[in-house]
Amino acid sequence: MKQAGVQDALDPSSAVSTSNDDETMAELRTLLLGPAEKQIADVHARLTDPNRQLEEVVHVLPAAISVRSRRDGQLADALAPTVTSAIHESVRKDPQPIADAIFPIIGPAIRKAISAALSGMTQSFNQTLAYSVSVKGLKWRLEALRTGRSFAEVVLLHTLLYRVEQVFLIHRETGLLLQHVSAPGSQMQDADMVSGMLTAIQDFVHDSFSTAKGDELQTLQVGELTVWVERGPLAVLAGVIRGNAPHELREVFQQTLERIHLQFGTALSEFKGDASPFDSTRSLLEDCLQAHYDSQPKASDKPAKLTPLNVIVSLLVIAALVLGFFWLRGRWRWDNFIEQLRNEPGIVVAETGTRDGKYYLSGLRDPLARDPAVLMQEAKVDPNKVLSRWEPFQALTPDFVLARSKRLLNTPNTVKLSLKDGVLNAEGFASHDWVIEARRGSRFLPGVNGFRDDRLLDLNRVEDPLLMFVLDSAELVPGQSEKFDALVHDIERLQAQAEAMQKNVTLEIYGHTDESGTEERNATLAAERAQTVASELQGRLPRWTNVTVRAVASKEQLRNEVTEADRATNRSVTFKVIATDAQ
């Protein structure tokens, strides 16, 4: 091998032969693989070079957007947030470019709207002025008052020759509504429902009657309204008209339909249910909303010449109308006031009428009933124009009997009165004096046939049980257990009644002594006797009320000590019940 290598190195012809073979292989490789390598390099450049990618997207982007937008609405949904954000950001930075862009549209639209409003206002003013003081005008004013409409609106309705109130653009093949416009003040209906009904009526006519091929529904009469239908190859135009429209209006409908086919032919032929591309047809359809009024009144309707006599007569008529209005309003208020009085409890209306130019009223009134003067003020009746005379009486309805009983018996807030079948029921608790007075006074109450107090606690049972004590001791005299048991039972009843009436009860216990013993000893003994009873009650009652124990010395004796019985009575305790509203 070494010898061969050395020999090759020393042999120039052999080296030249090897070099020629390499060149031949390179040339052969270029011939075979050159196009593929060039394509691979080009693909690599397209994948890695951003400039190449940008140029390629620029060429296909418009066509791709156009194809995708015709296929479905996903492209619009995807671009909507970005476009909205871009517009907001542009307006935030500089609103002038947006204002300049929409200026050619906003300006004519505003001028058109103002012109239409001024035209309508001028027409309404002219019509109102022409018929303001004519005989027919007075009739129309009465109609306006009766119907609640304005006088100008009534004039326009009576002088109307025709008016296109609504216009519908309907897709001919599917019968779906593409666009709808209506005149100001016209009653709006469901536009989609109207469109469907027109298509259904057309189908009904074809299916139910023998019609020639190509015949179509052109006119439909519905009461005071007429529906005109104009048909094109791809769309149908339907107008709702009030009054008698001239034939020239059909030419307006036909021209509008032709312009829609010319401008929106592609959208009509490719319609798949999305009516948004036809929003721009509103301006064309609004040109069909025409109206015409009879602006020249008849000779009999023209106002009379302005003469002094006419002015005087007009002023007298106006004065009569004003006075009549106030008279009718006063009469209406008076009738409402009388009706309210008749329905008011405790008031009996005996006579009504007018005397000496004033209203007259007389009747019976329970002192507990509402004041007629207050009712008169609520009814907005002037009291200076009313002569009234009321005789007192006592109403025997249950509400008034109960209210009168509470008032006459001076019922305390710890007693609840109720009336059933003429029997006055009392429940709660009250002092002994009030219980006695209520039993006596209830016999003289009008409308009360009886008095029940079985659920009423006489506080004398609690405040004066007369518990006796042993001389010079805080020990109870033996044999008073029944009296103490009755006291416990009555306190339990008192607690139940207080809870039912939402009252808090405080029971004060007073200890008493006789005159024997020193004042200091008597004070101590009185306090011990009160505490003895308090402790005994606390032990026997499951629920204890608030108790204030107060010791009273011999200077507050119950009796003058003449006999031994008087001295024994003074050796006792008494109670006092204090009731307050629960918090």
Same domain for 286 and 325, yes or no, is no
Domain count, the chain: 4
- Would 142 be classed as within a structural domain? no
Instruction: Write the pLDDT tens digit of every residue in 444-476.
Output: 999 999 999 999 989 888 888 889 999 989 899
- Would 521 be classed as within a structural domain? yes
- Would 164 be classed as within a structural domain? yes
Q: Give the CATH number, domain containing residue 222.
A: 3.30.450.70
Task: Give the HSE-up count for residue 119: Cα atoms under 13 Å, Cβ half-sphere.
Answer: 10
- Would 451 be classed as within a structural domain? no
Q: Give the CATH number, domain containing residue 475.
A: 3.30.1330.60
Starting at the earlier edge strand, list the strands of the sheet with 503-511.
Answer: 467-468, 572-581, 503-511, 546-551
Predicted pLDDT of residue 468:
92
| DSSP structural state of residue 188 | P
- Would 414 be classed as within a structural domain? no
Same domain for 241 and 351, yes or no, is no
Question: Which domain-ending residue is among 230, 262, 293?
Answer: 293
Parallel, antiparallel, or unpaired for β 450-458 and 235-243? unpaired
- Would 566 be classed as within a structural domain? yes
Same domain for 319 and 279, yes or no, is no
Predicted pLDDT of residue 440:
93
| DSSP structural state of residue 450 | E
Domain region containing 244: 159-293
Determine phi and psi for 577, rounding to 5 degrees.
Answer: -100, 130
Q: Of 145, 125, 127, which Cα lies nearest the Cα of 321?
A: 145
Instruction: Write the pLDDT tens digit of every residue in 309-340.
Output: 777 888 888 888 888 888 888 889 989 989 99
Same domain for 39 and 13, yes or no, is yes
Question: Which domain-ending residue is among 269, 293, 317?
Answer: 293
Q: Alpha carbon 34 to chain centroid distance?
A: 84
Same domain for 356 and 470, yes or no, is no
- Would 133 be classed as within a structural domain? no
Same domain for 286 and 315, yes or no, is no
Instruction: Say what angle helices 50-71 and 74-93 make with each other, to 10 degrees.
Output: 120
Starting at the earlier edge strand, list the strands of the sheet with 386-392.
Answer: 347-355, 358-365, 386-392
Same domain for 264 and 341, yes or no, is no
Same domain for 373 and 345, yes or no, is yes
Instruction: Write the pLDDT tens digit of every residue in 400-417.
Output: 999 999 999 999 999 999
Same domain for 182 and 285, yes or no, is yes
CA dihedral 58, 63, 66, 72 (to 10 degrees): -100
Same domain for 470 and 569, yes or no, is yes
Average pLDDT, the chain: 78
Instruction: Write the pLDDT tens digit of every residue in 124-160.
Output: 544 454 545 455 666 667 777 777 666 666 665 666 5
Parallel, antiparallel, or unpaired for β 503-511 and 546-551? parallel
Residue 102 pLDDT > 80:
no
Question: Residue 62: which pLDDT band, with cuts at 50, 70 and 90?
Answer: confident
Question: Which domain-ending residue is among 392, 417, 450?
Answer: 392
Same domain for 288 and 254, yes or no, is yes
- Would 166 be classed as within a structural domain? yes
Residue 106 pLDDT > 80:
no
Same domain for 490 and 378, yes or no, is no
Residue 5 pLDDT > 60:
no
